[in-house]
Amino acid sequence: MSKNQHDRAHHAKKASGVGDPQCFRGEAGQAKFKNGDMVRIRDLPDIFYTRCQVYTRGAVGRITKVVYESPAAEDEAWDNTDHPEWFYSVVFRQHELWPDYPASYKNDTLETEFSERWLEQA
Amino acid sequence: MSDTHKAAPMVDEVSDFEILEMAVRELAIEKGLFSAEDHRRWIEYVHTLGPLPAARLAAKAWLDPDFKKLAVADGVKASLAVGIDWINGPPTKFGTPSDYCSFRVLEDTPKVKHVVVCTLCSCYPRTILGQSPEWYRTPNYRRRLVRWPRQVLAEFGLQLAADVEIRVVDSNQKTRYMVLPLRPIGTEGWSEQQLTEIVTRDCLIGVAMPQPGVTSNAKRPVHPAVHPIHAGH
Amino acid sequence: MPSPSRSALMRHFDLVGQLQPAYHQPQHAPYPDAIDHAKYRALLRSSHDVGGEPDVPIEWEEKEEEQWEANTFATCECLAWRGVWSAEERRRRQNVDVGETQYLALPYYGRWLLSAARIIVDKQYVTLTELVNKIDEVKGRYEQKSAR
């Protein structure tokens, strides 16, 4: 079996002076969602690795910011960087995330980021 | 050091971790994966990092409403004003590998209080805030803050009115966050330097609020190192 | 009989908290039909995904950094700087691939270090033989020192 060839210089060449995730600008195409959209978090199969927290699955939130383009963590974790996606910041109401969240704290929220594959229109 | 901490072991005992660390670093250098100079440079770079630039950014935002707007709209650009270049500052010239170049400043208001966690690991804006505290990295903090934020904040000494929106921000991807806390009363006419001094690391994470006269984090037990970082590093 | 000191009592509470009932499965490597969807999901969970799990209040502590921890951090960042891995590959390996037991039972920087050791072997920059020999050699230096 031969040794794999790894291009160790690739990322530095691409991102030098530009930054990461800035180096992926323009690679994700058209963003599917925009600020203010209500989205539901998809419960895609959870195998080997994900950065989409289980506590968000099936919950509905509001997009507050379209943040950047980047390979999804699930791909970047294996150095598969050819298909960047748009990333979004989404806000949830705590009482919708947790059934036992105290009713007296009715305004509490939680905000976290998702790559586009994890979102569907609510 | 409290009774619950173990007695200090003999000073010349070397741990399995220390042995492995040397082995990995020496092999990596032997094989040309990085140079000894690279490693030294990174250690030195980390030594330059701490919460002061982020504290200054908060003070500047308090004093200048236009700067505050910039900080909230473009944290990376605003960081330049306090001497932090997220992209070109680190030796890589493309940001630090772990903390990237997507930085957001979370503006607290009388109605909204932010607090930051990384439930998946311990992502932290090292580039402008320095290394994360031990408690921030614990599974305990990461488990509980997202679901019981008021209980956890109470343990840190913070209690907020029931109608305040506590927004927990879970930094699970490439963005790194700092909290821009509320400017406390009793600081009218203060200089940027005076304001900077009361914005502690804990305020920038969101587990404390700035107070006149409080210029350091709350006292907590400190678990000592067996072989702490060499003097001069 | 002298009364116990307060600190001995606190140690007693810590120890008592570690006595937990547990129903262990008597059969390792169970038959497939013993694993329903819920168990499958639990077994395949990403160990790092802990948000929302119950836990108890603890005393929040700071920690003095070890020299080896600072060195490990620099090693991991240099490996990424020079393209051996990305930080995301590191996180996947360090926070999930290690598995549930190592995740919870190893020190935080212990996982960083083991993942750095693993990546240079996995990507064939170093053979496991070379790593084992190097560890042995480094160990030998310290055994020689204490033998003096």
pLDDT band at C3 (very low <50, low <70, confident <90, very high): low
> Among partner residues C80, C95, C108, which is closest to B120 by beta-carbon distance?
C95
B51-205: CATH, from 3.90.330.10, 1.10.10.60, 3.30.56.10, 3.40.50.1100: 3.90.330.10
Phi-psi region of C115 (alpha: psi -120 to 50; beta: other; left: phi over 0): alpha
In a domain, A89, yes or no: yes
Helices C67-81, C108-122: axis angle to 10 degrees equals 40
Q: Which chains touch A (3 or more CB pairs under 8 A)?
A: B, C
The pLDDT score that the predictor gives to residue B2 is 44
User: Does the beta carbon of B85 lie under 8 angstroms from any beta carbon of chain A?
Assistant: no
Which CATH superfamily includes the segment(s) C67-147?
Answer: Nitrile hydratase, beta subunit (1.10.472.20)
pLDDT band at C23 (very low <50, low <70, confident <90, very high): confident
- Laid out side by side, the sheet with A38-41 consists of A119-121, A38-41, A60-70, A85-93, A109-115, B165-170, B112-117
Cα separation, B204 vs B177, whole angstroms? 9
| The residue type at C129 | T
CA distance C61 to chain B (A): 5
In a domain, A10, yes or no: no
Domain ranges of chain B: 16-46, 51-205
Interface of A with B in 17-56 (CB under 8 A): 17-23, 51-53, 55
Flag if A98 and B147 touch (Cβ within 8 Å).
yes
Say if CB B17 and CB C68 are below 8 A apart.
yes
Interface of A with B in 89-118 (CB under 8 A): 89, 91, 94, 97-98, 101-102, 104-115
The pLDDT score that the predictor gives to residue B4 is 46
Q: Which chains touch C (3 or more CB pairs under 8 A)?
A: A, B
Cα separation, A88 vs A56, whole angstroms? 14
Averaged pLDDT score across all residues of chain A: 96
| The residue type at B42 | W
Cα separation, A86 vs B73, whole angstroms? 18
Closest residue in C to A100 (Cα–Cα): C52
Contact residues on chain C for B27, CB-CB shorter than 8 A: 120, 126, 130-131, 134
Q: Print pLDDT tens along chain A (122 aa).
A: 677 789 999 999 999 999 999 999 999 999 999 999 999 999 999 899 999 999 999 999 999 999 999 999 999 999 999 999 999 999 999 999 999 999 999 999 999 999 999 999 99
CB pairs under 8 A between B and C: 195
CA distance A65 to chain C (A): 22
Is the pTM value of this prediction over 0.80?
Answer: yes
All residues at 6 or more sequence positions from A112 whose CB lies less than 8 Å from its CB, including other chains: A53, A56, A89, A90, B169, B170, B171, B172
In a domain, A54, yes or no: yes
Flag if A67 and B172 touch (Cβ within 8 Å).
no
Contact residues on chain C for A82, CB-CB shorter than 8 A: none
The pLDDT score that the predictor gives to residue B3 is 43
Among C31, C40, C103, C108, which one carries the catalytic annotation?
C108
CATH code for the domain in which residue A71 is found: 2.30.30.50
Flag if C75 and B22 touch (Cβ within 8 Å).
no
Interface of A with C in 14-43 (CB under 8 A): none
Q: Sign of the CA dihedral A100, A106, A110, A111?
A: positive
Q: Print pLDDT tens along chain B (233 aa).
A: 444 455 554 556 899 999 999 999 999 999 999 999 999 999 999 999 999 999 999 999 999 999 999 999 999 999 999 999 999 999 999 999 999 999 999 999 999 999 999 999 999 999 999 999 999 999 999 999 999 999 999 999 999 999 999 999 999 999 999 999 999 999 999 999 999 999 999 999 999 999 999 999 999 999 999 999 975 54
In a domain, A45, yes or no: yes
Q: Where are the alpha helices (DSSP H) in chain B?
A: 16-30, 36-48, 52-63, 65-73, 75-80, 126-129, 134-137, 139-144, 149-155, 192-197, 201-205
CA distance C31 to chain B (A): 32
pLDDT score of C146 more than 90 = no
> Among partner residues A46, A53, A55, which is closest to C44 by beta-carbon distance?
A46
In a domain, A36, yes or no: yes
All residues at 6 or more sequence positions from A92 whose CB lies less than 8 Å from its CB, including other chains: A56, A59, A60, A61, A109, A110, A111
The pLDDT score that the predictor gives to residue B1 is 41
In a domain, A2, yes or no: no
Backbone angles phi, psi at A98, to 5 degrees: -125, 120
Domain ranges of chain C: 67-147
> Among partner residues C44, C89, C124, which is closest to A77 by beta-carbon distance?
C89
Outline where DSSP puts E strands in A47-108.
60-70, 85-93
Which candidate, B138, B141, B175, B177, places its Cα nearest to that of B156? B141
The model's pLDDT over C59-111, given as tens digits with 9 standing for 90+, comes to 999 999 999 999 999 999 999 999 999 999 999 999 999 999 999 999 999 99
Contact residues on chain C for B17, CB-CB shorter than 8 A: 66, 68, 107, 109-110, 113
| Number of separate domains in chain A | 1
The SS3 call for residue A65 is: strand
The pLDDT score that the predictor gives to residue B69 is 98
The pLDDT score that the predictor gives to residue C14 is 83
Closest residue in C to A1 (Cα–Cα): C124
Report ipTM for this prediction: 0.98
